[in-house]
Structure 1
Amino acid sequence: MNTAKPESIALFCLTPGGVALAQRLRDALPVTCFTSEKLLQPGFIPFGGSFAQTVQQAFSQYSALVFIAATGIVVRVIAPMLSDKLQDPAVVVMDERAEHVISLLSGHMGGANELTRELAAILGADPVITTATDVNQLAALDTLAAKLDATMQGFRLAVKTVNQMLVSQQRVGLWWDSEFAPHAERYDTRGFIPVESLDALPELDALVCVTLRDSQPALTIPVYKLVPKRIVAGIGCRRDTPLQTVAALLRQQLVENHFDPLALRAIGSVMLKQDEPALLELTQQHQIPFELFSVDQLSQHEHRFPASEFVRQTLGVGSVSQPAAWLMSNGNLVGRTVREQGVTITLGVSDRC
């Protein structure tokens, strides 16, 4: 997801008043400030070429862009770069007197609404948020997904449908699988109808299920399965193992443990496998990170698992998949380790909630 991270906020100011306001914000948040050469202050970065060119570069490099400028100027400069609400960064606009902070783009998925509220609180300004769910003081499916780092099949249509149902005062249930139920109170679920059991549903028009599982009981209402990315896979393999072999064994592991493939969060291995074609292609296919660990990092947990002298002589550590999965999941391994066709795969469940 493209949820805004505080460390990746680019701030643009075009006037002396904007620079002064930017300096106030720098004291409260780790923002990178850009301005023109003639307004440059210590710690600020000059526009590279022009204001528009600098914004174009920042649009793909930062998860949030904040402008102290007129809304019209901002709309014109970002218009050619707009692509997709699931990918575009958060864009927030404010006036140089800090009277209004406006969530302009990627309010939910990009985190612009949340950033708008944070900036307004810092400045004592009025937050301007126009998304229908927020205006009606309701949660939104895409915001919940972003907070959970979750996804679902047909995400775009599901978000549109569920959010419209919520603002239309239809009854949308929300059920949490056992892994997530204890943490449900952390999330904004206003407007959803709590569901404790799938065997005894209240009267509903639709149901959202938060789960890692690959299947759910058949129900008579529309069901939207929201899958948090929590499953990590430590993988070791012989050099140049075919992608098809590794992919098939990973699918086998997920099916065996009843995990939805969408729950896969990361693949990990030893640093020496950083250019292993099958592992690189697998992470690209799933659009997930490839986490690499040094021999020293893996060796610290090697004693927990069976070791292979052949692997030790080749890589410098007697086990790869299990220590890697252990590190990625904070020791929360699940299922058996597969050892087939020169490939070892161990799954873990990240404790991030």
Structure 2
Amino acid sequence: MRTALFALTVGGAALADRLACAVEGGVTVHLPERLRGSVVSTEHDIVYFERLADVMREAFTRYDALVCVMATGIVVRMIAPYVENKLYDPAVLVFDEAGRHGISLLSGHIGGANELTRNLCAAVGADPVITTATDVTGMLAPDAIAARLALRPVPKSAIQVLNTALLEGKEIAYYIASDLPHAAFYEAQLRAEDVQARLFRGAIPPVGADEYRVIITAADDLPQENAPRTLYLVPRRLIAGVGCRAGIPEAKILRALTEACGMIGREPSDIDLLASTTVKRDEAGLLAAAETLGREIRFFPNEVLAAMIEQYGLKESDFVRQTIGVGNVSEAAALCAAGKAGGRMALGKTSFGKVTVALLWEK
């Protein structure tokens, strides 16, 4: 998850630094220009801004999560023009400067704000403020499960229908298509949450009278018309952006992909698509790794990667830029492969010896 932290005062900057230490993935701290030289040096990247409104507008589409150390009212006014869809909006959190409370403000389930709030509050000793009805009542909502398992909810309108039913004490039945890749993984994950799923093969079972249900199935198997009281959860594609030194053998690339997937609790077989720069389109080890995994690999020109680096403010390596002409291959290529819909970074640019991998869940 790529995270941006914002603060407006010296005290807020100190808390932002503590929060940044607890965030997994890429972190950038944003501070007003007037604090330049007033803040204790930090190991995290710092961006100084003149106007909060300008940097917040840019950050809303650039990062997966925004963590703001300031008054909630300020944050609401800043993000209001850009809020569009709970399936795509970033997670937004607010902390008071004293670090007493952390508020999950936007995208609690799908965007992961509730879970991030709990984690960051635990790290700095703050009280988490979460207002999502299912969380307050201790219930596990279907869209929360979707977020944890990287599943896309379809249709969005069914989320409210099922969550309301859950709050009213109705049971929700879970179904999994048994021929779905990694069906056993989804079944095990649900079982760990004390949710017993029913396996089915072939056509999606008809909805029973007054039945509320969640069906985990492939996107190609979704019915043309949505059934009543039914939420479909479709696996998101996992894209692996890969950069490597010249002449790296297949075995080292596969090992890097295996370690990277392990860091997010997945296997290399979960990867749906590989991406890299056209500079590497004849790299034998990379091509062999894609063939072994049985996955397509897409190569993007450096100018396209450079545009993505600029759009998302990706951190660049001077060495890589001098070597191949662009300073970030793995993250930029993964974002290019995701297309207009974009994606949420599951694992930021990570070096495994002479291979660099970034993992991204397509939105």
TM-score class, shorter-chain normalisation, is: 0.5 to 0.7
The equivalent position to 1:224 in structure 2, one of 231, 235, 247, is 231
Kept in 2, the 8 Å contact 1:166–1:192? The answer is no
Q: Assess, with a 3 A threshold, how the Cα gap between structure 1 residues 221 and 298 changes in structure 2: closer, same or farther.
A: same
Alignment of 1:1-353 (within 5 A): 5=1, 8-29=2-23, 31-40=27-36, 41=39, 42-43=41-42, 45-153=46-154, 155-178=155-178, 179-187=182-190, 194-195=197-198, 205-212=211-218, 215=221, 222-229=229-236, 266=272, 294-300=282-288, 322=291, 325-326=294-295
Higher radius of gyration, 1 or 2: 1
Asked if structure 2 preserves the Cα contact closer than 8 Å seen for 1:67 and 1:94, the reply is yes
Q: Which residue of 1 aligns with 2:346?
A: none
* Pair 1:193–1:183, CA change in 2 (3 A): closer
Tell me the CA shift for residue 67 of structure 1: 0.7
Kindly tell me: are residues 28 and 269 of structure 1, through their superposed partners in 2, closer, same or farther at Cα, counting changes over 3 Å?
closer
The alpha-carbon deviation at position 79 of structure 1 amounts to 1.3
Q: Which consecutive unaligned segments of at least 5 residues does structure 1 have?
A: 233-263, 275-291, 302-320, 329-351
- Per-residue displacement from partner, 1:122-178 (whole Å, max 9, x unpaired)? 01111000011111111122222222222254x211212111111111121012334
TM-score normalised per structure 1: 0.60
Question: What SS does structure 1 have at the residue aligned with 2:139?
Answer: coil
Q: Secondary structure at the match of 1:47?
A: strand
- TM-score, reference length from structure 2: 0.59
Q: What is residue 301 of structure 2 aligned with on the other side?
A: none
Whether the 8 Å CA contact 1:90–1:110 is kept in 2: the answer is yes
Secondary structure at the counterpart of residue 133 of structure 1: helix
For 1:116 and 1:188, how far apart are their aligned partners in 2?
25
Amino acid at match of 1:38: R
Secondary structure class of the residue paired with 1:27: helix
Offset of residue 293 of structure 1:
5.3
Tell me the equivalent position of 2:258: none
The percentage of counterpart residues that share the same residue type is 37
- Distance verdict in 2 for CA 1:152–1:295, change over 3 Å: same
Which letter does structure 2 place at the counterpart of 1:63? D
Residue type of the partner of 1:18? G
Give the length in aligned residue pairs: 255
Shift of 1:187: 4.8
With over 3 angstroms needed to count, the CA separation of the structure-2 counterparts of 1:229 and 1:80, relative to structure 1, is: closer
Q: CA RMSD in A?
A: 3.9
**Structure 2 counterpart of 1:177, which letter?**
A
Please report how far the alpha carbon of residue 62 of structure 1 lies from its aligned counterpart in structure 2 after TM superposition. 0.7
Q: Which amino acid aligns with 1:67?
A: C
**Whole-angstrom CA distance in 2 between matches of 1:38 and 1:269:** 41
